[in-house]
Amino acid sequence: METPILEMRQITKEFPGVRALDNVTFSVKRGEIHCLVGENGAGKSTLMKVLSGVYPYGTYSGEILIDGQPQRFSGIADSERAGIGIIYQELALVPEMTVYENIFLGHEINRNGLIDWNETIHRADAMLRKVRLTVNPATKVRDLGVGKQQLVEIAKVLSRNVKILILDEPTAALNEDDSENLLNLLRELRDHGVTCILISHKLKEVLSIADTVTVLRDGKTVCTLDAHKGEVSEQALIRNMVGREITNIYPPRSHRPGADPMLALRNWTVYAPELGRYILRDVNIEVRRGEIVGLAGLMGAGRTELALSMFGNAPGYRISGELWLKGKQRWFRHPQEAIAAGMAYVSEDRKAKGLVLIQDVRQNITLANLRALARNGIIDRNAEIQVAEEYRRSLNIKTPTIEQQVVNLSGGNQQKVCLGKWLFVRPDVLILDEPTRGIDVGAKYEIYQLMNRLVEDGMSILMISSELPEVLGMSDRVYVVSGGRIKGELPIEVASQEKIMELAVDY
Amino acid sequence: MATQAMFLKNLQRTLGQNIRQYGMFIALFVIMIIFSITTNGIFISSRNLSNLINQTGYIAVLAVGMTLVIVIRHIDLSVGFLAGFLGAVAAIALRFWDLPTIVVVPMVLVMGGLAGLLTALPVAELKIPSFVASLAGWLIYRGALQLVTAGTGTIIIEDETFNAIGNGFIPDLPVTLIPGYHTLTLLLGAIAIGAFIFSEIRSRNKKLAYNFEVLPADMFALKLIFISTLIGLLAWIMAGYNGLSWTMVIVLVVVAIYHFITTQTVLGRHIYAVGGNPEAAELSGISVKRITYIVFASMGMLAALSGILFASRLRSATTTAGTLFELDAIAAAYIGGVSAAGGVGNVIGSIIGALVYVSLTSGMNLMGIDIAYQYIVRGLVLVAAVIFDVTTRRRGRAG
Ligand SMILES: Nc1ncnc2c1ncn2[C@@H]1O[C@H](COP(=O)(O)OP(=O)(O)OP(=O)(O)O)[C@@H](O)[C@H]1O
Ligand SMILES: [Mg+2]
């Protein structure tokens, strides 16, 4: 048998109070696409950080072999030299710089310290062709969509002669088209001899692209499955990931929504003077009691802006139209007022807008509703601890203690903390913006069940989602947004992926 | 034997985990010991320490306010000359308007609060960097200070009530416990120790009831003994001179209030959340603007207090009062562990930082070290403290 290009043997990595990796063995064959899957907090990202030298030799135990040679990385620079390129889930580009500057950032093509710009642009162009991105290399990264930024990131890594390309949830923030694009690119790279390791929670993706799949659970390797021997199926993956069968990802709901509208917008129009254009125009929507309404559309269609403008967070925008909440016309100048009136908004960007990363789980969960825990402005610490423990239990947040800083939690568990924070506000209308981004199948199922329970108790949910199966699986009714307008309203009985896409791309 | 090994292991672990918290205390301790040796014990004398603490007062209150300003990712450079200017206003009010201290002090404090709001205005409303907004204040208050003292030069304050704030001591009880020692100070020290032990035990028991991690019993006892000894020692030293000074009482009250607000209240939590992630705080229903106004107003008020303490200590208002106070306060806050990245830092740390800073000055003065070297040493200590802070923090995170 050929020596694997990469072998990780008996890797164990501990953090205070957590054993993130426990004797993990991981082996990757040359020129394959190897998917790494597992629940939130299973240790996938940690394993890749060990591999790429973020956690240097000596902070973990075990062995890393590349082409059969033992490696001891003391930093990312070492692993780069050994041919490892990693793309983290959070993009690491400088928005204010051009595409070519970003591609060669840190590895500038220079002679005696002077940058050769012509050569830089020339090579950047070649890299961009390689990733099939047709943009002018002089474009600022800020002006590109996430999908294209992701490709620039790949071009950047490829420019360093990588043998092993690692991608940590690259498609989590991409729409279907961009994701498909990216997967095709990976296939092409594989055919040119680049070995890829891909972490993803989107099982469809894994099924379509993986040559081999390794499943981690609780920091241990559960199994390695070979797609070419037919070992990889959705059921097999789920069973190994969560340790039980989930037959229907979208739990059935017997409950019927009520008729009285909880939230309604009339001719809601948002104008951005700085951009000189309308962000939203004549939006009319309605969410009834006990109803889950899906807001489908492409990225950039204006759905997040719609949520934020309702929620009182629209700095510098000019808004006209009416907002009706629970039968009263309202107008929120600040999220504080929206929250007090019974609204909650779970942001799509948990790191930038959802969490205070340096604070702990307890402080984050109670942040939006501290007053409920205080008398005369003084926080009842014990009540606070109880609340935090309660949400940790009910949402199954994986953390050693509620005193853990959320920056140390895995991505999916951070998302659960965000959810917990907004559930503790006990809203009547809950706006979820990409609620299951980066969440594993098991936890997704739990969140869907939770949503069902919430609407049964009379809450109304407006769910923004770019994942069409999720929109179709969970909504009672769907609005499709495109170019800042509502392009159509579809009762769930007639909605289909094709119909939604048709409306979504219609400007 | 086994228990002894256990004890050492616990000690090592506890120190290791809390090195950042205890680091400052240890540094202060070391500095004091060094100066005690180099000055043949003069440094540690009751008289010198009492003076030292009174000198720390006007920097300490500024450092407390500055801590919160830095926690919300801002800076306030205007506070030094604001303190100087408001000190002069106080002097004028006492001397020329014949107002009593009881009126002047609240009046000046309110003016300080208003000045803070004014600094916050462009910062909160227009997102002007606070560095610039407060630099403008620095210039304006410097000019204002020169204006109000232009005609008179140094304004001597003759009001003894006012002067007692910076120079006086609390009265003693008519009984004597130990000859030569201030009885009330000793009693207050004893009460403080009792209250401290009581509250620590209560909070530990509460945590135990919730099955939370607490210090092992031997470490807990060690902590109680250590801090009680410290309080006791402090009271003993103060009682050996004239007792507790009014400045010290004021600083203790300020620290107690701010410590309480930052650790126990909704307002405190909101301040730290705004510092940690302003966008997330805003979306969680916290008005970042409101917090900005509150923090700057508190800073202004503490600047006024600093000005009062300083003017009272000198028994006069001078044309250069407040020069460089802001930088001393910023240095104290950083020595005490606040982070410019926002959301991190506490008032106790900053007070210790201020003590370290003033101890250095006082100790080196006693040793007769040239002022030029003094600046260099202070600079080195500042850098060392921040490096220590950053590296221990990183270690804490990487595990
Ligand atoms: N710096 C850290 N300090 C403490 N604990 C950590 C740290 N980094 C990760 N962990 C813990 O290690 C475990 C594994 O985390 P990791 O990020 O590898 O999970 P993951 O499989 O990538 O999950 P997700 O799918 O949610 O991204 C989690 O329990 C997490 O809380
Ligand atoms: Mg991860």
User: Residue A102 is part of a domain; what is its CATH number?
Assistant: 3.40.50.300
Asked whether residue A329 is domain-assigned, the answer is yes
What is the pairing mode between strands A6-15 and A18-28?
antiparallel
Query: Most B CBs within 10 Å: which of A13, A54, A305, A359, as the mutation test of the B interface?
Result: A359
ipTM here: 0.84
Q: How close B224 comes to chain A (CA, Å)?
A: 22
| φ, ψ for residue A87, nearest 5 deg | -120, 115
Region B92-109: what's the mean pLDDT?
Answer: 94
Quick one: which of A321, A295, A319, A426 has its CA closest to A366?
Answer: A426
For residue A185, the CA-to-ligand 2 centroid distance in Å is: 22
State the fold for domain B40-168+245-398: ABC transporter involved in vitamin B12 uptake, BtuC (1.10.3470)
* pLDDT band (50, 70, 90) for residue B293: very high
For residue A27, the CA-to-ligand 1 centroid distance in Å is: 21
* Cα dihedral A309/A312/A317/A318 (nearest 10): 90
Ligand 1 pocket residue status of A13, Cβ below 6 Å: no
* Same domain assignment for residues A169 and A48: yes
Which residue in B has a C-alpha nearest to residue A386's C-alpha? B210
Ligand 1 pocket residue status of A354, Cβ below 6 Å: no
Region B311-315: what's the mean pLDDT?
Answer: 94
How far apart CA B62 and CA B52 sit, in angstroms, is: 16
Residue pair B254/B246 in contact by the 8 Å Cβ criterion: no
- Token pair for residue B297? 């107003």
* Same domain assignment for residues A410 and A433: no
From start to end of A301-402, where are the E strands? 318-325, 328-330, 343-346, 374-375, 378-379
Instruction: Give the model's pLDDT for residue B396.
Output: 42
- Cβ-based neighbour number of residue B159 at 10 Å: 19
Instruction: Give the model's pLDDT for residue A227.
Output: 86
Boundary (domain end) residue, out of A242, A275, A292: A242
- Token pair for residue B29? 């301790």
Q: Do the Cβ atoms of A354 and B287 come within 8 Å?
A: no
Among A278-292, B22-36, B218-232, the range with the most confident prediction by mean pLDDT is A278-292
Q: Is 0.95 surpassed by the pTM of this model?
A: no
Asked whether residue A1 is domain-assigned, the answer is no
For residue A63, the CA-to-ligand 2 centroid distance in Å is: 21
Residue A4 DSSP code: P
Judge whether residue B4 has pLDDT over 80: no
* Same domain assignment for residues A311 and A224: no
* Same domain assignment for residues A292 and A357: no
Domain span including residue A406:
350-426
* pLDDT band (50, 70, 90) for residue A126: confident
Instruction: Give the model's pLDDT for residue A507.
Output: 63
Instruction: Give the model's pLDDT for residue B390.
Output: 78
Asked whether residue A178 is domain-assigned, the answer is yes
- pLDDT tens column, A53-85: 999 998 999 999 999 899 999 888 889 889 999
Judge whether residue A289 has pLDDT over 50: yes
Sheet holding A33-38, edge to edge: A84-87, A164-168, A195-199, A33-38, A212-217, A220-226
Asked whether residue A195 is domain-assigned, the answer is yes
Mean pLDDT score of chain A: 88
Instruction: Give the model's pLDDT for residue B65.
Output: 97
Region A186-192: what's the mean pLDDT?
Answer: 89
* Same domain assignment for residues A321 and A397: no
Sheet holding A328-330, edge to edge: A277-288, A261-272, A318-325, A328-330
Determine which helix (DSSP H) or strand (DSSP E) holds A430, and give its type and residue range.
Answer: strand A429-433
Judge whether residue B20 has pLDDT over 70: no
* Same domain assignment for residues A143 and A210: yes
Ligand 1 pocket residue status of A44, Cβ below 6 Å: yes
Region B202-212: what's the mean pLDDT?
Answer: 80
* Same domain assignment for residues A417 and A505: no
Region A159-176: what's the mean pLDDT?
Answer: 85
Region A218-240: what's the mean pLDDT?
Answer: 88
For residue A18, the CA-to-ligand 1 centroid distance in Å is: 9
Sort out which chain B residues have CB atoms less than 8 A from A339's CB and list them: 284-285
Whose atoms come closest to the Cα of A409: which ligand? 1
Query: Most B CBs within 10 Å: which of A355, A367, A380, as the mutation test of the B interface?
Result: A367
- Cβ-based neighbour number of residue A136 at 10 Å: 11
Ligand 1 pocket residue status of A431, Cβ below 6 Å: no
Query: A164-178, A305-319, A408-422: which range is least confident on average?
Result: A164-178
Kindly list the domain boundaries of chain B, sorted by start residue. 40-168+245-398, 171-244
Residue pair A332/A341 in contact by the 8 Å Cβ criterion: yes
Instruction: Give the model's pLDDT for residue B399.
Output: 29
* pLDDT band (50, 70, 90) for residue B398: very low
Distances, alpha carbon B231 to alpha carbons B177, B191, B238, in Å: 18, 10, 11
* Same domain assignment for residues A309 and A299: yes
- pLDDT tens column, B43-58: 888 888 888 888 889 9
Asked whether residue A174 is domain-assigned, the answer is yes
Question: What total number of domains does chain A contain?
Answer: 3
Judge whether residue A189 has pLDDT over 50: yes
Q: Which atom belonging to ligand 1 lies closest to the Cα atom of A48?
A: 18
Judge whether residue B340 has pLDDT over 60: yes
How far apart CA A355 and CA A421 sit, in angstroms, is: 9
Region B306-333: what's the mean pLDDT?
Answer: 94
- What is the percentage of chain B residues whose pLDDT exceeds 90? 55
Region A95-115: what's the mean pLDDT?
Answer: 83
Query: A130-144, A343-357, A391-405, B68-82: which range is least confident on average?
Result: A130-144
* Same domain assignment for residues A26 and A171: yes
**B window 242-281, beta carbon within 8 A of A:** 264-267, 269-270, 272-273, 276-277, 279-281
- pLDDT tens column, A406-420: 999 988 899 999 999
Residue pair A108/A120 in contact by the 8 Å Cβ criterion: yes
If one compares A430 and B6, the residue with the highest pLDDT of the two is A430
- Token pair for residue A304? 């997040």
* Same domain assignment for residues A141 and A226: yes
Region A121-141: what's the mean pLDDT?
Answer: 85
* Same domain assignment for residues A278 and A224: no
Ligand 1 pocket residue status of A18, Cβ below 6 Å: yes
Region A75-103: what's the mean pLDDT?
Answer: 85
How far apart CA A269 and CA A321 sit, in angstroms, is: 6
- pLDDT tens column, A243-276: 777 777 788 877 788 888 999 999 999 998 887 8
How far apart CA A448 and CA A435 sit, in angstroms, is: 10
* Same domain assignment for residues A333 and A195: no
Region B258-263: what's the mean pLDDT?
Answer: 94
Boundary (domain end) residue, out of A391, A410, A426: A426
